[in-house]
Amino acid sequence: MNSKQKVAVVTGSSSGIGHEISLILARNGFTTYATMRNMEKGSDLKSIAKDEKLPLYFMQLDVTDENSVKKAIKSVYDEVGRIDILVNNAGYGLTGAFEDLSLDEIKTQYETNVFGLIRTTQEVLPIMRKQRSGMIVNISSGAGRFGFPTGSAYVSTKFAVEGLSESMSYELEPFGIKTVIIEPGMIKTNFHNAVVVAKRSSEPSSPYAPLMAGMKDNLTKMLDNGSTAQYVAEIVLDAVKNENPKLRYLVGKDVEQLIDAKRKMSDEEFVNMMKQM
């Protein structure tokens, strides 16, 4: 099949990486369904799709709602009769020292970043298995390969995505279904502006307040050298067009350098380097 016949579903498409992935797939001939929880946030994407006459369609999908997921995937399948690519992009970041995190805050983080991905993937897999073809693209993070202070909740969700993706890749390969993990570093999007700060960590009385302030300053500096969401989308496009894609794609010089250092260093050496950073 060529790209004009292939159907892609992208979650979390209202902004940032999901917005750019939806655009680049549609611009390259993929029939693309940009899904989002709040349809009102998709006005910019809709305007571009209309102006450029793109094969880009819009669907409400809340990855935390099982009925919403089932309804959206069924609607796509009923309309076009197949799904070739699922890009699991929906997610957000929760920051805060582990001691300060409430269990509810952690559960909410996992509900979107992990269980949301599981819901959409399990809903799509029977379709792809019947086709004996397809690709699951999971947007993880460089943070799925190493931890950092104040990131325990977010980082652990990405570690979960990494393990889940790698494990299911063995199971899906015999059915012609490929699994791809995208691991961006720092990306210049509104993702970081939308980061949720744990309630207790945002209070001046928190024993971790100095750490939170330091991490915020470092994040601002690191963003200056971050990659763009368009670059992530280009890597995704390369993967979905490749007949034999890699399991993992690092995206960004920052994360490439960190993973290279992690390979070459002992755990103690890598931890010491992260402390200095």
Task: Tell me if residue 154 is catalytic.
Answer: yes
Structure tokens that stand for 72 in this block: 């959206």
What's the chain's Rg over C-alpha atoms? 19
CA 94 to chain centroid, in Å, comes to 14
2 neighbors 240 (Cβ within 8 angstroms): no
User: Which one is catalytic: 154, 201, 206, 208?
Assistant: 154
Considering the candidates 13, 15, 140, 206, report the single residue annotated as catalytic: 140
- Cα(197)–Cα(95) distance, rounded to whole angstroms? 5
Q: Catalytic: 140? A: yes
Q: Which of 6, 13, 14, 158 is catalytic?
A: 158
Element (H, E) at 67: helix 66-80
**How far apart are the C-alpha atoms of 154 and 138, rounded to whole Å?**
15
Distance between CA atoms of residues 19 and 25, nearest Å:
10
Distance CA 111, CA 13 (A): 18
Please, is 213 exposed, middle or buried when counting C-beta atoms within 10 Å of its C-beta (0-12, 13-18, 19+)? exposed
- The CA distances from residue 159 to 21, 112, 163, 172, 230, in Å, are 22, 14, 6, 20, 24
Q: Can you state the angle between helices 152-172 and 117-131, rounded to 10 degrees?
A: 10
Tell me which residues are annotated as active site. Answer: 140, 154, 158
